Amino acid sequence: MRGYLSVFRLRLSIGLQYRGAALAGICTQFFWGFLIIMVFEAFYSQTLTEPPISLTQLITYVWLQQAFLSFIALWFRDNELFQLITSGNIAYELCRPSDIYSLWYAKLLAQRLSSAILRCIPVISVACFLPQPYRLPLPADLSTLMLFVVTLLLGLLILVSISMLIYISTFVTMSSAGSLLMFGVLGEFLAGMIIPVPLMPSWLQSIVNVLPFRLCADLPFRVYSGHITNIEALTLIPLQLLWLSALVGIGKYTISKALRKIVVQGG
């Protein structure tokens, strides 16, 4: 356990080094946020029927999405891991006395956390002071905030276990670009990154609700904005735990199978 913790700490401090890149990223995220909100504003301005999510809740959704982008973006990639697999250097990794799944898991988790810490604080603090209607409202009460944090962190764990599956698939395909692209596009759509889940047609929502992707982003954001009530959120947390254990189980099983059949590429 201590070994994984120190890998995690090391990665976290490496990630926190890139402040300049983070600043550029923050500017880009504000631009995107404004753009998306203006489009939704235009759609909402002349609507005749009551939409299933209010504009304020939607704006909250958009800002949280921008602040926690690195918690939800599937296209985030660690080239080091891909290179380990395709170059054959994985042989060294296998010599280490620690479990490879947990080691990589800690590494990926730390990467996402460090990039989110750098970005979420400035994005959220600025978004809280924007002029109306762009302002990010505070959560209704303390328990909502607590539930938001819990669901967000569980969502992060689910997402990392999904992205582990992408890395494991590299053992079979040897070329990461294709599977990463397909996973990324599909997963992001199903997580509500293109359009929020409540605005999707009902047939699509019933598909989305079965899959784990929306538990990473859509669920915590809607808990924060009050679109999902606290009681409902409490019933969904066990579902998150269930998916998490299932995904980690699948990942551990497939990686052990892939490692048994592994052919170390010479070089």
Closer to other proteins at the Cβ: 179 or 230? 179
Non-local CB neighbours of 247 within 8 Å, separated by 6+ positions: 158, 161, 162, 164, 165, 212
Closer to other proteins at the Cβ: 28 or 143? 28
Which stretch in 27-35, 142-150, 218-226, 251-259 sits in contact with other proteins by CB under 8 A? 27-35
Closer to other proteins at the Cβ: 106 or 200? 200
Task: Tell how far CA 153 is from the center of its chain.
Answer: 10
Non-local CB neighbours of 161 within 8 Å, separated by 6+ positions: 105, 244, 247, 248, 251
Q: Which of 6, 13, 17, 28 binds other proteins (CB under 8 A)?
A: 28
Non-local CB neighbours of 89 within 8 Å, separated by 6+ positions: 83
Write down the least CB distance from residue 220 to other proteins, Å.
21
**Residue 132 touching other proteins (CB under 8 A):** no
**Residue 249 touching other proteins (CB under 8 A):** no
Query: Could you give the string, one character per residue 174-213, with x where binding to other proteins holds by CB under 8 A and - elsewhere?
Result: -x-xxx-xx--xx-xx----xx---xxx--x---------
Closer to other proteins at the Cβ: 69 or 154? 69
Of the CA atoms within 13 Å of residue 29, those in its CB half-sphere come to: 25
Which helix or strand (DSSP H or E) is residue 27 part of? helix 19-45
Q: How far apart are CA 154 and CA 206, in angstroms?
A: 22
* Cβ-contact 241, 153 below 8 angstroms: no
Q: Which of 14, 21, 91, 242 binds other proteins (CB under 8 A)?
A: 21
- Rule CB under 8 A: which residues touch other proteins? 21, 24-25, 27-28, 31-32, 34-35, 38-39, 42-48, 51, 175, 177-179, 181-182, 185-186, 188-189, 194-195, 199-201, 204
